[in-house]
Structure 1
Amino acid sequence: MSITQQYLLDTYRAQRLGETPQPPPGTHDLRTLRELRGYRQFRAVVAERPAHGRLRRALGRLLHPQARSAC
């Protein structure tokens, strides 16, 4: 059974029982991703690591290994 079929079945059951139907699949995906990003940034701060820009810095080191400063 696909997720769409399950959603339609749940909506039908909720309607028959007089309950409020669940939101359609994918409704809260962006909010969930934002919360996950915020949680990862929080964990980075707690672990005393940079909270953002880690991926870009790592890719920069891979693409330009000789561009490091001499400080």
Structure 2
Amino acid sequence: MTANQQHMIDVYRSAQRGEIAPPMPGLHDWDAVREIRDHRRATRQGRPGPLRRAAARILAAARGGGSAARPCA
């Protein structure tokens, strides 16, 4: 089954259920390619990508601190 055939089945099924139809295949391909390119550029330069920055922010908030250094005990 091709992607177009599967999409037609999904559109029919969503219409029967009264749901929003899924996006057409290939609609967001260039967005995904850009995100991969940006991620690779960021990792090549030694900078963390947006996912790692978000994870670091969440972990810092969960530990109860920001970017302040903790004293050694």
Q: TM-score, normalised by structure 2?
A: 0.61
Query: Where does residue 30 of structure 2 map in the other structure?
Result: 30
- AA of the residue aligned to 1:21: A
Distance 1:3 1:30 in 2: 17
Distance 1:46 1:33 in 2: 20
Structure 2 spans left out of the alignment, 5+ residues: 48-73
Q: Computing the radius of gyration over CA atoms, which structure comes out larger, 1 or 2?
A: 1
Q: TM-score, normalised by structure 1?
A: 0.63
Q: Is residue 2:16 matched to residue 1:16?
A: yes
Distance 1:34 1:4 in 2: 24
Percent of aligned pairs with the same amino acid: 36
Structure 1 spans left out of the alignment, 5+ residues: 48-71
Cα root mean square deviation, aligned: 1.1
Query: Where does residue 7 of structure 1 map in the other structure?
Result: 7
Query: Where does residue 45 of structure 1 map in the other structure?
Result: 45
